[in-house]
A and B are shown apart, each in its own frame.
Chain A
Amino acid sequence: AQSVTQLGSHVSVSEGALVLLRCNYSSSVPPYLFWYVQYPNQGLQLLLKYTSAATLVKGINGFEAEFKKSETSFHLTKPSAHMSDAAEYFCAVSVVQGAQKLVFGQGTRLTINP
């Protein structure tokens, strides 16, 4: 079975500062890992995904994440926060075989201070 733990339900950074959202996963087989963003009253939009190719993954809106197998982590970063980055971020894990269903973390709400 797979699971995801997102460390920190709320993260607040200043505009222009580094964004770091933490995600640790558990999986008995090689995982696929995803970060999704959700704006209020909207569905989820894919930011980036790791599917066993390069361990450093670049996504949309300047975000990137690094897969570290030894640490079972997939932390999301952005060098310089923008006001429009304020949203809820979800880390998720799945496996390529079987149902391919996503298992989500509880989410991290990112607030950007002017």
Chain B
Amino acid sequence: DTGVSQDPRHKITKRGQNVTFRCDPISEHNRLYWYRQTLGQGPEFLTYFQNEAQLEKSRLLSDRFSAERPKGSFSTLEIQRTEQGDSAMYLCATLDSRRLSGELFFGEGSRLTVL
């Protein structure tokens, strides 16, 4: 499978616990994006990386959220001290910025439920 892969697909946790999501991009894609999607809404941009550099963070990304892409390949999104409002689908998407098509390829998402 050469698509964007996300793990885990589903995570149920108790309020106050930490969770981490992983995204493995399409291999030649240098940009990686994280989005959050709540029920009945469109995805909202959280942050993106160009290779290993985190170039932009949305104000939606509170201090409890941290994202990394240490070697410019896979990325992790960690949420510390989870709150019920963090319950959402977390989507990873990648693209090759050297192509001007601008097409993002999405993973299947990681659904978080905070009890």
Binding site for B on A (CB under 8 A): 4, 9, 32, 34, 36, 41-46, 49, 51, 90, 92, 94, 96, 99-107
Contact code string B35-59 (vs A, CB < 8 Å = 1, else 0): 0000011111100100000011000
Complex: how many Å from CA A32 to CA B91? 21
Question: Do A44 and B106 touch across chains, with their CB atoms under 8 A apart?
Answer: yes
Q: Which of B75-115 contact A (CB under 8 A)?
A: 91, 93, 95, 97, 100-109, 111
Question: Do B108 and A94 touch across chains, with their CB atoms under 8 A apart?
Answer: no
Q: Which residue of A lies closest to B107 (CB)?
A: A43
On chain B, the residues within 8 Å of A107 by CB distance are 40-42
Complex: how many Å from CA A36 to CA B40? 15
Complex: how many Å from CA A34 to CA B102? 9
Tell yes or no: B33 within 8 A of A by CB.
yes
5 A-B residue pairings within 8 Å (CB atoms) = A4-B42, A41-B109, A46-B105, A90-B42, A101-B56
Tell yes or no: B31 within 8 A of A by CB.
yes
A-B contact count (CB 8 A): 63
Known: A94-B102, A101-B48, A104-B43. A43 touches B109 (CB 8 A): yes
Known: A49-B101, A51-B100, A96-B100. A43 touches B108 (CB 8 A): yes
Complex: how many Å from CA A96 to CA B101? 8
On chain B, the residues within 8 Å of A41 by CB distance are 109, 111
Question: Do B33 and A106 touch across chains, with their CB atoms under 8 A apart?
Answer: no
Question: Do B100 and A44 touch across chains, with their CB atoms under 8 A apart?
Answer: no
Question: Do A101 and B111 touch across chains, with their CB atoms under 8 A apart?
Answer: no
Question: Do B42 and A100 touch across chains, with their CB atoms under 8 A apart?
Answer: no
Complex: how many Å from CA A10 to CA B6? 29
| A51: contacting residue among B31, B101, B108, B109, CB under 8 A | B101
Complex: how many Å from CA A105 to CA B109? 18
Shortest Cβ gap from B95 to chain A (Å): 7
Known: A90-B43, A103-B45. A42 touches B108 (CB 8 A): yes
